[in-house]
Amino acid sequence: MVRALPVFPRRLNILAALLMVLAPALFLHAEDGHKLWLRYAQLVQPPTIKFFYLNDDSTTGHVIAEEIKRGLSDLSGYPVSQTSDPKNAQLIIGTPDNLELLREPSWKKNFSHLGPEGFLLKREGFSFLVAAKTSLGCLYGAFRLLELFSQDKDLEGDGVLESPLIHRRLLDHWDNLDGTIERGYAGKSLWKWNELPGHVNERVLDYARACASVGINGTVLNNVNADPRILTLPYLKKVQALADAMRPYGLKVYLSANFGAPKALGDLPTADPFDPQVRKWWEAKASEIHGLIPDFGGFLVKANSEGQPGPLDYGRTHADGANLLADALAPYGGVVIWRAFVYKDSIDPDRIKRAYKELMPLDGKFRKNVIIQSKNGPLDFQPREPFHPLFGGLKRTHLGAELQVTQEYLGHSNHLVYLGTMWEEFFGSDTFAHGPGSTIEKLLARDRDSLMAGVANTGDDRDWCGNPFSPANWYAFGRLAWDPTLKSRDIAEEWTRMTWTRDPQAAPAITDLLMGSRDTYIDYTCPLGLAGVFEKDLHYAPDPGMVDPRHDDWSAAYYNRADAKGIGFDRTRRGSDGVDQYHAPLNDRFNGLKTCPLDYLLWFHHAKWDQRLSTGRTLWDELVFRYGQGRKEAEAMKAQWQGLRGKVDDERFGKAERKLEIQAREADVWGKKCLGYFGSFRK
Ligand code: GCW
């Protein structure tokens, strides 16, 4: 190829050579997924906006202006610029403080329904308006407008008026100080601790931008298995640099705190919450943090769980521990987010009953600025679990939900599993706590300090999540934290149109692929309410017979209990009575073999192999059917994707294709391994 160059005149030769060198660099990142859903692919019929007006000199105001410029210019294919004359503008953005129009009495009514982060989008003829009470509200509104355009949707009728239903919408990063990420499958941590505080990596800003675009308003920077050093001054200065960088995007910074820090850092001989020196230590620490980061969100704490220190080490309760930190943070408006992921052996032989038994007696004993954070299910982010009975159980304590966006038990970054459907199922679950209709979405939203946290699936891989489909889960988490009543299909469709294509055939096909993916995954891994079928530690491949000598309840066999008679964990009243942690009539429903939903059958029942199910098949035949079904569906997903060749860019298409091939291959392995093991018991 280089030999062909001499036929060109010399100057062209140099140009061609330059192009050959530069082209890969210029186009390398063209469609690699880095832009996420903020891709802003050019529209055939863009909105006719050439100028926008925004008179907001705050740092958030600057972010809005940049985003609107970039977004609208990309969507339109021509430059869109800011004007200082609102009469020239086809898009006006503002708050009553910086936009005169919004001070007119007629606007009062509109604004009375808006929360501080809410926004209003309106269209009149060819002009658009984004209005809010605060700059942050404007930022959220600006992003939403761009997202509507990006989906090729228009503002209809009265426009859009929205405020988030959940106050704290956080991503929890299980990032370690050495750059590794616990349960991370997309590279290393985005926080480059060794470069901080001097240099804030540009990925941090990209991250903040993506989070803000879906309304995420907080980030817990470090792993809940917390290194105490995060609370030392050198690290706090690094945290301060990150907090400063993310503040314009409305992201508040929180830290995971190690309960034993006063002792572990060598400052005190104890971390006993009743020790006055310990109290003073935390007060001084909170004050020090506040001095550096005035809007610091608070501490997230994993205490007395999986080897982490906690108040129980000193004969105190979880409430004693949480309240200690809460008192220290209270003067600065910070909160303590105390995890409910506790399962001390001595509490109950059935692991899933333990957190409820331990925390329910403490209901009402936590300070106002403590929020208990519970995983969606009582075990540990399994592909399907019934909801955690603390939802609807705790009534005098703030309770937030922790969802896992990273796919620890869901095929890591290799399998396509869209989690919007799982979360919709969770939020829609009726707890019956206040009679029928007490769904989790309602319980969460009516809490005065509501919280939704997602364990992040991001890393420093160029495409953020390691699989071109996985950002859908980041996106869906943000959207649902903003409004848990949204429908997972709508979210999948939004994401698809912004991320992949607006093609009228391809977009619905991709949406369908996402929508079926979680049920498919459950079918080929753990149908009918099975849980804990995963290999030790990695939690990726199947190992239904795994015995973990370290912990009975880390063993797969502890959960599936396969024996000559049947399979499943008996949590009925004849068994562990886990069912009675739920309100009536759910407890009775789960308790009855015939009334228990098939999806939870083996979660609550040890059923006989030849038990006839509502499908008409015996239990064993149903298992064989489901595993087979899952394998076929995974094959079908691969085939459906291949039908989309040419409809999306080659680079991302190829990556997705490779992932779907792995998934289909492994779906087959799962069925063989699980049925082989379970079948060996069946007489
Ligand atoms: O699921 C388990 C994970 C651990 C995790 C723990 C937790 C951060 O395997 O990696 O630790 O849950 O949620 O605390």
> What's 530-564 look like in SS3?
CCCCECCCCCCCECCCCCCCCCHHHCHHHHHCCCC
Q: In the predicted model, what is the mean pLDDT of residues 393-407? A: 98
Both tokens of 163, joined, read 């405020």
Contact 224 CB / ligand 1 (< 6 Å): yes
Place of tokens 């299980």: 174
Contact 341 CB / ligand 1 (< 6 Å): yes
Q: For residue 223, give the ligand 1 atom closest to its CA.
A: 8
What confidence score (pLDDT) does residue 651 get? Answer: 96
Q: How many CA atoms lie within 13 A of 10 on its CB side?
A: 0
Q: Three-state DSSP class for 173?
A: coil
How far, in Å, from the CA of 341 to the mean position of ligand 1? 9
Task: Assess contact for 193 and 476: CB atoms under 8 A.
Answer: no
Query: Is the model's pLDDT at 11 over the cut of 90?
Result: no
Classify the C-alpha dihedral 11-30-466-144 as positive or negative.
positive
* Closest by CA position to 666, among listed 417, 414, 376, 406: 414
Task: Report d(CA 557, CA 547) in Å as an integer.
Answer: 7
Catalytic choice (380, 460, 493, 523): 380
Query: Is the model's pLDDT at 6 over the cut of 70?
Result: no
Which residues on adjacent β-strands are paired with residue 398? 371
Task: Report d(CA 117, CA 108) in Å as an integer.
Answer: 16
CA angle 497, 219, 456 (to 5 degrees): 55
Q: In the predicted model, what is the mean pLDDT of residues 653-668? A: 98
**CA of residue 29 relative to chain centroid, distance:** 25
Q: What contacts 22, CB < 8 A, 6 or more positions away?
A: none
Strands 252-256 and 298-301: parallel
Task: Assess contact for 153 and 123: CB atoms under 8 A.
Answer: no
How far, in Å, from the CA of 463 to the mean position of ligand 1? 24
Task: Report d(CA 441, CA 428) in Å as an integer.
Answer: 6
Query: Is the model's pLDDT at 677 over the cut of 60?
Result: yes
- Specify the amino acid at residue 433: A
For every residue of 220-233, DSSP letters joined together read E-S-SS--GGGGSH
Catalytic choice (74, 350, 408, 523): 408
**Confidence tier at 17 by pLDDT (50, 70, 90):** very low
Task: Assess contact for 315 and 277: CB atoms under 8 A.
Answer: no
Q: Is the peptide bond before 248 cis (omega within 30 degrees of 0)?
A: no
Query: Is the model's pLDDT at 379 over the cut of 70?
Result: yes
Contact 554 CB / ligand 1 (< 6 Å): no
Q: For residue 183, give the ligand 1 atom closest to its CA.
A: 10
What confidence score (pLDDT) does residue 156 get? Answer: 79
Task: Assess contact for 261 and 275: CB atoms under 8 A.
Answer: no
* Report for 27-41, 114-128, 458-472: range of highest mean pLDDT: 458-472
306 is catalytic: yes
Task: Report d(CA 482, CA 308) in Å as an integer.
Answer: 31
Helices (H), 105-232: 105-112, 135-150, 202-213
Contact 259 CB / ligand 1 (< 6 Å): no
In Å, the largest CA–CA distance within the chain is 89
Q: In the predicted model, what is the mean pLDDT of residues 438-465? A: 97
- For ligand 1, atom 13, the nearest C-alpha belongs to 341
**Confidence tier at 125 by pLDDT (50, 70, 90):** confident
Q: For residue 224, give the ligand 1 atom closest to its CA.
A: 8
Q: Which helix (H) or strand (E) holds 327?
A: helix 318-329
Task: Report d(CA 500, CA 512) in Å as an integer.
Answer: 13
408 is catalytic: yes
User: Quick one: DSSP state of residue 4?
Assistant: G
Task: Report d(CA 31, CA 188) in Å as an integer.
Answer: 21
Q: Three-state DSSP class for 84?
A: coil
Q: In the predicted model, what is the mean pLDDT of residues 610-631? A: 98
**Confidence tier at 524 by pLDDT (50, 70, 90):** very high
Distances (CA, A) of 270 to 285, 309, 321: 16, 11, 13
How far, in Å, from the CA of 552 to the mean position of ligand 1? 16
Q: For residue 305, give the ligand 1 atom closest to its CA.
A: 14
Query: Is the model's pLDDT at 166 over the cut of 90?
Result: yes
**CA of residue 438 relative to chain centroid, distance:** 23
pLDDT in tens, 468-480: 999 999 999 999 9
- In whole angstroms, how large is the CA radius of gyration of the chain? 26
* Closest by CA position to 352, among listed 569, 658, 565, 138: 569
Contact 302 CB / ligand 1 (< 6 Å): yes
Which residues on adjacent β-strands are paired with residue 430? 439
Query: Is the model's pLDDT at 244 over the cut of 60?
Result: yes
How far, in Å, from the CA of 140 to the mean position of ligand 1? 32
Contact 380 CB / ligand 1 (< 6 Å): yes
CA angle 417, 420, 423 (to 5 degrees): 110
Q: In the predicted model, what is the mean pLDDT of residues 189-199? A: 98
Task: Report d(CA 120, CA 644) in Å as an integer.
Answer: 37
What confidence score (pLDDT) does residue 154 get? Answer: 86
CA angle 536, 541, 546 (to 5 degrees): 40
User: Quick one: DSSP state of residue 433?
Assistant: B
What confidence score (pLDDT) does residue 453 get? Answer: 98
Place of tokens 């019934």: 386
Contact 320 CB / ligand 1 (< 6 Å): no
Place of tokens 């993310």: 246
**Confidence tier at 3 by pLDDT (50, 70, 90):** very low
pLDDT in tens, 426-450: 999 999 999 999 999 999 999 989 9
How far, in Å, from the CA of 425 to the mean position of ligand 1? 22
How far, in Å, from the CA of 387 to the mean position of ligand 1? 18
Task: Report d(CA 10, CA 19) in Å as an integer.
Answer: 14
Contact 548 CB / ligand 1 (< 6 Å): no
Classify the C-alpha dihedral 309-167-493-424 as positive or negative.
positive
What confidence score (pLDDT) does residue 30 get? Answer: 65
622 is catalytic: no
How far, in Å, from the CA of 532 to the mean position of ligand 1? 13
Which residues on adjacent β-strands are paired with residue 417? none
How far, in Å, from the CA of 530 to the mean position of ligand 1? 19
Q: For residue 409, give the ligand 1 atom closest to its CA.
A: 1
How far, in Å, from the CA of 342 to the mean position of ligand 1? 11
pLDDT in tens, 223-235: 999 999 999 999 9
pTM of the predicted model, to two decimals? Answer: 0.95
Q: Which helix (H) or strand (E) holds 651?
A: helix 650-679
Query: Is the model's pLDDT at 561 over the cut of 70?
Result: yes
**CA of residue 244 relative to chain centroid, distance:** 23
* Closest by CA position to 442, among listed 391, 368, 488: 391
Contact 174 CB / ligand 1 (< 6 Å): yes
What confidence score (pLDDT) does residue 20 get? Answer: 44
Task: Assess contact for 634 and 560: CB atoms under 8 A.
Answer: no
Task: Assess contact for 131 and 100: CB atoms under 8 A.
Answer: no
Least confident interval from 105-119, 324-338, 613-627:
105-119
**Confidence tier at 683 by pLDDT (50, 70, 90):** confident
Q: In the predicted model, what is the mean pLDDT of residues 569-587? A: 98
Catalytic choice (100, 158, 195, 306): 306
Contact 409 CB / ligand 1 (< 6 Å): no
Distances (CA, A) of 443 to 170, 480, 677: 18, 14, 41
Place of tokens 């809010």: 132
- For ligand 1, atom 12, the nearest C-alpha belongs to 380
Contact 183 CB / ligand 1 (< 6 Å): yes
Q: Three-state DSSP class for 57?
A: coil
Per the prediction, the chain carries an average pLDDT of 95
Q: In the predicted model, what is the mean pLDDT of residues 394-405? A: 98
- For ligand 1, atom 11, the nearest C-alpha belongs to 225
DSSP E strands in 412-545: the ranges are 451-455
What confidence score (pLDDT) does residue 113 get? Answer: 85
- Specify the amino acid at residue 205: L
Q: In the predicted model, what is the mean pLDDT of residues 285-303? A: 98
Least confident interval from 17-21, 69-73, 194-198:
17-21
Q: For residue 381, give the ligand 1 atom closest to its CA.
A: 1
Return the best residue to mutate from 223, 373, 408 for the ligand 1 pocket (most ligand atoms within 8 A of CB): 408
Task: Report d(CA 318, CA 456) in Å as an integer.
Answer: 26
What confidence score (pLDDT) does residue 158 get? Answer: 82
Q: How many CA atoms lie within 13 A of 20 on its CB side?
A: 10
How far, in Å, from the CA of 400 to the mean position of ligand 1? 17
